[in-house]
Amino acid sequence: MLSRPGLALYLAPRELPFILVGGAIGTLGAWSTAPMTAAAAAAFLVAFQVKAEIITKPRS
């Protein structure tokens, strides 16, 4: 997802157990027949907290 004017993306790492689970999901693509891109996307969403906010007024 690319950022655009009027859209703010916030990424923050989650706590350690979520990061470990995300890493395990990421390696699932190498161990099984799951597509690597799907495993990497799932691992990213588990390991990081992603928030999107639409900005209607400029911040001062």
DSSP structure string for 5-53: TTEEEEEEE--HHHHHHHHHHHHHHHHSSS-HHHHHHHHHHHHEEEEEE
Segment 12-35 shows an average pLDDT of 79
- 12 φ/ψ angles, rounded to the nearest 5 degrees: -140, 135
Q: What is the pLDDT of residue 4?
A: 61
* pTM listed for this prediction: 0.61
Average pLDDT value for the chain: 78
Whether pLDDT at 5 is above 80: no
What is the SS3 assignment for 1?
coil
Segment 15-29 shows an average pLDDT of 78
Percent of the chain's residues with pLDDT above 70: 87
Whether pLDDT at 52 is above 60: yes
